[in-house]
Amino acid sequence: MATIKKMSKQNLNIDYDSTADILYVSFGKPRSAICFEVNKGDLIRVDAYTNKVVGITIIDFKKRYMESSLLNIEETAKNIVPTLLNQFKH
């Protein structure tokens, strides 16, 4: 099982592709990784050499996780990331 790093505001990078509706979350500098799908469209990215979780990719992010257009993408991401990490380590 991969090692999960604790999130901190300084090393959490969030990037949203509005055209594809994909959210990319990286812990530290984005890097190459292998993916594990924890739910349909929720991918945990793991460094193949260190076995540490380095990011998360969420497909159809707004469609699946944002009930209202008034919600903030960054805050929604920060709320959903711990849930996905918890699902991954089980």
- pLDDT per position as a tens digit, 15-36: 999 999 999 999 998 889 999 9
**46, 53 Cβ separation under 8 angstroms:** yes
**What's the pLDDT at 12?**
86
**What's the pLDDT at 8?**
46
Q: What's the chain's Rg over C-alpha atoms?
A: 12
**What's the pLDDT at 11?**
81
Which residues make Cβ contacts (< 8 Å) with residue 14, sequence separation at least 6? 23, 24, 25, 73, 74, 77, 78
**What's the pLDDT at 46?**
96
Q: pTM, whole model, 2 decimals? A: 0.83
**57, 30 Cβ separation under 8 angstroms:** no
Residue whose C-alpha is closest to residue 49's, from 32, 66, 36, 37: 32
Residue whose C-alpha is closest to residue 59's, from 6, 19, 87, 8: 19
Instruction: State the Cα–Cα distance between residues 19 and 17, nearest whole angstrom.
Output: 6
Q: For 35-88, write each residue's pLDDT tens digit.
A: 999 999 999 999 999 999 999 999 999 999 987 766 799 999 989 999 999 998
**What's the pLDDT at 69?**
66
Q: For 2-12, write each residue's pLDDT tens digit.
A: 434 444 445 88
